[in-house]
A and B are shown apart, each in its own frame.
Chain A
Amino acid sequence: MNRQGTHWRYARREDGFGELVIDVAGRSANVLTPEVLEELLALLEAVREDAPPGLVLRSGKPSGFIAGADVHRFAPLPPRDEVLAFIHLGQRAADALEALPFPTLALVRGFCLGGGLELALACDYRIACDDERTRLGLPEVRLGIHPGFGGTARLVRLLGSLPALQLMLTGRTLRARPAQRVGLVDQAVPERLLEVAAAELLRRPPAKHRPSRWARWSALPPVRPVLGAWLHRQVARKAPRRHYPAPHALIDLWVRHGGRFRDLLAAEAESVADLVTGETAQNLVRVFFLQERLKGLAKGREHGIAHVHVVGAGVMGGDIAAWCALRGLRVTLQDQDPERIAAAVGRAAALFRKRLRDPRRVTAALDRLVPDPDAAFAGHADLVVEAIFEDREAKRRLYAVLEPRLKPEALLATNTSSIPLEELATVLQRPERLIGLHFFNPVAKMQLVEVVRGAHADPGAIERGLAFVRALDRLPLPVASRPGFLVNRVLMPYLLEAVELVEEGVPPELVDHAARDFGMPMGPIELADTVGLDICLHVAEILGEAFGLAVPDRLRALVEDGRVGRKRGRGFYTWRRGKPMRHRLPRPDPARLGELQERLVDRMLNEAVACLREGVVADADLLDAGMIFGTGFAPFRGGPMHYAQTRGVEDLETRMHDLAARYGARFLPDDGWNRLRRQPG
Chain B
Amino acid sequence: MARDDTTCRLKRPVYLVDGARSPFLKARGRPGPFHAADLAARTAIPLLLRQPFEPGALDEVILGCVMPGPDEANIARVVALRIGCGERVPAFTVQRNCASGLQALDTAARHIADGCADLVLAGGVEAMSHAPLLFGAAFAAWLGQWRRARTLPARLQALARLRLSALAPVIGLLRGLTDPVVGLSMGQTAENLATRFDIRRRDMDAFAMRSHHRLATAQHTGRFDGEIVLLADTEGKAHFLDDGVRPDTHLEALAKLPPAFDRPFGRVTAGNSAQITDGAAWLVLASEEAVARYDLRPLARVLDTQWAGLDPAQMGLGPVHAMAPILARHGLDSPDIDYWEINEAFAAQVLACLRAWQDPAYCREVLGLERAFSPIDEARLNVDGGAIAIGHPVGASGARIVLHLARVLAREGGRLGMASLCIGGGQGGAMLIESTQERQA
Is there an interface contact between B82 and A346, defined as CB atoms closer than 8 Å? no
Closest-by-CB residue of A relative to B44 is A367
Binary per-residue interface labels of chain A (364-401) against chain B in the complex, 1 for a CB within 8 Å, 0 otherwise: 10110011111011001000000000000000000000
Report the Cα distance A373→B232, complex, angstroms: 11
Asked if B46 is at the interface of the complex by the 8 Å CB criterion, the answer is: yes
23 example contacts (A-B, Cβ-Cβ < 8 A) are as follows A338-B232, A339-B238, A342-B230, A342-B232, A342-B237, A344-B236, A345-B233, A346-B232, A346-B233, A346-B234, A347-B236, A349-B234, A350-B234, A363-B38, A363-B82, A366-B234, A367-B45, A367-B82, A370-B45, A371-B229, A372-B46, A376-B46, A377-B49
The minimal Cβ–Cβ distance linking A552 to chain B, given in whole angstroms, is: 36
Residues of A within 8 A of B229 (CB): 371
Verify B42–A338 contact, CB threshold 8 A: no
Complex Cα spacing A339 to B238, Å: 5
Q: How far is the CA of A653 from the CA of B230 in the complex (A)?
A: 59
Interface residue A418 (Cβ < 8 Å from any Cβ of B): no
Interface status of A71 (Cβ within 8 A of chain B): no
Q: Is A606 an interface residue (CB 8 A)?
A: no
Minimum CB–CB distance for A372 against chain B, Å? 8
Docked pose: A373 CA to B46 CA in angstroms: 11
Closest A residue to B38 by CB, please name it. Answer: A363
Chain A stretch 295-342: residues in CB contact (< 8 A) with chain B: 332, 338-339, 341-342
B49, A370: Cβ atoms closer than 8 Å: yes
Cβ contact within 8 Å between B49 and A380: yes
**Alpha-carbon separation in the docked complex, A346 to B231 (Å):** 11
Do B83 and A367 touch across chains, with their CB atoms under 8 A apart?
Answer: yes
The smallest beta-carbon distance between B407 and chain A, in angstroms, is 16
A344 contacts which chain B residues (CB < 8 A)?
Answer: 232, 236
Flag if B232 contacts A367 (CB, 8 Å).
Answer: no
**Bound Cα distance A279, B49 (Å):** 55
**Contact B45–A376 (Cβ < 8 Å):** no
Q: In the complex, what's the smallest C-beta–C-beta distance from A211 to chain B, in angstroms?
A: 34
Contact of A373 among B230, B233, B236 (CB under 8 A): B230
Would you call B45 and A342 a contact (CB within 8 A)?
A: no
| Chain B positions within 8 Å of A51 at CB level | none
Interface string of B235-258 (1 = CB under 8 A from A): 111111000000000000000000
**Using Cβ atoms and an 8 Å threshold, which residues of chain B touch A346?**
232-237
A342 touches B41 (CB 8 A): no
Mark B42-53 against chain A: 1 for CB-CB distance below 8 A, else 0.
100110011000
Binding site for A on B (CB under 8 A): 38, 41-42, 45-46, 49-50, 82-83, 225-226, 229-240
Across-interface contacts of A345 in B (CB, < 8 A): 232-234, 236
Contact B49 A342 (CB under 8 A): no
Q: Any chain B CB within 8 A of the CB of A229?
A: no
Please measure, in the bound complex, the distance between the C-alpha atom of A364 and the C-alpha atom of B232, giving whole angstroms. Answer: 15
Q: Is there contact, CB below 8 Å, between A367 and B50? A: no
Closest to A376 in B: B50
A1, CB-defined interface residue at 8 Å: no
A371 touches B49 (CB 8 A): no
CB distance from B249 to the nearest CB of A (A): 25
Given A341-B230, A342-B233, 15 additional A-B pairs, CB 8 A: A332-B49, A342-B239, A346-B236, A363-B38, A363-B82, A367-B41, A367-B42, A370-B46, A371-B46, A371-B229, A371-B230, A371-B231, A373-B240, A374-B226, A376-B49
Let me know if A193 is at the binding interface, CB within 8 A. no
Q: Which residues from chain A contact B226 at a C-beta distance below 8 Å?
A: 374
B231 partner residues in chain A, CB cutoff 8 A: 371
B48 CB to nearest A CB, Å: 10
- The reply to whether B46 and A338 contact each other, CB–CB distance below 8 Å, is no
Q: Which residues of B contact A374 (CB under 8 A)?
A: 225-226
In the bound complex, residues from chain A placing their C-beta under 8 Å from that of B230 are: 338, 341-342, 371, 373
Q: How far is the CA of A122 from the CA of B399 in the complex (A)?
A: 64
Q: Choose one: A342, A377, A380; the contact of B236 (CB below 8 Å).
A: A342
> A residues bordering B, Cβ < 8 Å?
332, 338-339, 341-347, 349-350, 363-364, 366-367, 370-374, 376-377, 380
Q: In angstroms, how far is the closest chain B Cβ from the Cβ of A331?
A: 11
Rounded to whole Å, the gap between the CB of A307 and the closest CB of chain B is 9
Contacts of B50 in A (CB 8 A): 376-377
Beta-carbon nearest neighbor of A337 in chain B: B238
Bound-state CA distance A371–B41 (Å) is 13
Contacts of B237 in A (CB 8 A): 342, 346
Task: Please name the residue on chain A nearest to B83 by beta carbon.
Answer: A367
- Shortest beta-carbon distance from A346 to chain B in Å: 2
Nearest-neighbor residue (CB-CB) of A346 within chain B: B236
Contacts of B45 in A (CB 8 A): 367, 370
Report the Cα distance A79→B226, complex, angstroms.
71
The residue in chain A whose Cβ has the minimal distance to the Cβ of B42 is: A367
A343 to B83, CA, bound (A): 23
A371 touches B232 (CB 8 A): yes
Q: In the complex, what's the smallest C-beta–C-beta distance from A363 to chain B, in angstroms?
A: 7
For the complex, give the distance between the alpha carbons of A370 and B38 in Å: 12
A363 to B79, CA, bound (A): 12
* Contact status B46-A343, CB under 8 Å: no
A462 to B82, CA, bound (A): 33
Residues in A with CB closer than 8 Å to B46 are 370-372, 376-377
Q: Is the CB of A364 within 8 A of B82?
A: yes
Nearest chain B CB to A512's CB is how many angstroms away? Answer: 32
> Which of A341, A345, A364, A377 gathers most chain B CB within 10 Å?
A345
Query: Which chain A positions have C-beta within 8 A of B235?
Result: 346, 349
Whole-angstrom CA separation of A345 from B232 in the bound complex: 6
Q: Which residues of chain A come closer than 8 Å to B38, judged between CB atoms?
A: 363
Q: How far is the CA of A338 from the CA of B238 in the complex (A)?
A: 6
- Which residue of chain A has the shortest Cβ distance to B239 in the bound complex? A342
- Please give me the residue from chain B that is nearest to A332 by CB atom: B49
Q: Are B83 and A342 in contact (CB under 8 A)?
A: no
Expressed in whole angstroms, the Cα–Cα distance for A349 and B231 within the complex equals 13
A345, B83: Cα distance in complex, Å? 18
CB distance from A361 to the nearest CB of B (A): 12
**Shortest 5 CB-CB contacts between residues of A and residues of B:** A346-B236, A342-B238, A345-B232, A349-B234, A342-B232
Q: Considering the chains assembled together, what is the distance between the CA atoms of A619 and B232 in angstroms?
A: 45
Q: How far, in angstroms, from A376 to B230 measured CA to CA in the complex?
A: 13
Taking the nearest CB of chain B, how far is it from the CB of A373, in angstroms? 5
For residue B106, give the distance in angstroms from its CB to the closest CB of chain A. Answer: 28
Q: How far is the CB of A347 from chain B (nearest CB, A)?
A: 7
Closest beta carbon of chain B to A367's beta carbon, Å: 5
List the B side residues contacting A380 at CB < 8 Å: 49
A473 to chain B, nearest CB (A): 23
By a CB distance below 8 angstroms, the chain A residues around B42 are 366-367, 370
The chain A residue sitting closest to B236, CB to CB, is A346
CA distance A347 to B231 in the complex (A): 14
With A373-B240, A376-B50, A380-B49: A341-B82 Cβ-Cβ less than 8 Å: no
Cβ–Cβ contact A341 & B238, under 8 A: yes
From residue B141, how far is it (CB to closest CB) to chain A in Å? 32
Q: A366's closest neighbor in chain B, by CB?
A: B234
Q: How far is the CB of B182 from chain A (nearest CB, A)?
A: 40
- Contact yes or no, A341 B49, CB < 8 A: no
Q: How far is the CA of A375 from the CA of B62 in the complex (A)?
A: 29
Q: With the chains together, A344 CA to B239 CA distance in Å? A: 14
Give bound CA distance, A367 to B229, whole Å. 14
Most buried by A among B232, B239, B240: B232
Q: Which residues of B contact A364 (CB under 8 A)?
A: 82
Q: Provide the residues of chain A in CB contact with B41, threshold 8 Å.
A: 367
Q: Report B-chain residues with C-beta under 8 Å of the C-beta of A366.
A: 42, 234
Q: Which residues of B contact A372 (CB under 8 A)?
A: 46
Contacts of A363 in B (CB 8 A): 38, 82
In the complex, residue of chain A having the shortest beta-carbon distance to the beta carbon of B37: A363
Chain B residues contacting A377 (CB-CB under 8 Å) are 46, 49-50
- B41 and chain A: residue at smallest CB distance: A367
B334 CB to nearest chain A CB (Å) = 37
Smallest CB separation, A300 vs chain B (Å): 29
Q: How far is the CA of A147 from the CA of B320 in the complex (A)?
A: 81
A353 CB, min distance to chain B CBs, angstroms: 8
Closest to A371 in B: B230
Give, as a whole number of angstroms, the nearest-CB distance from A153 to chain B: 47
Give the docked Cα–Cα distance between A376 and B18 (Å).
15
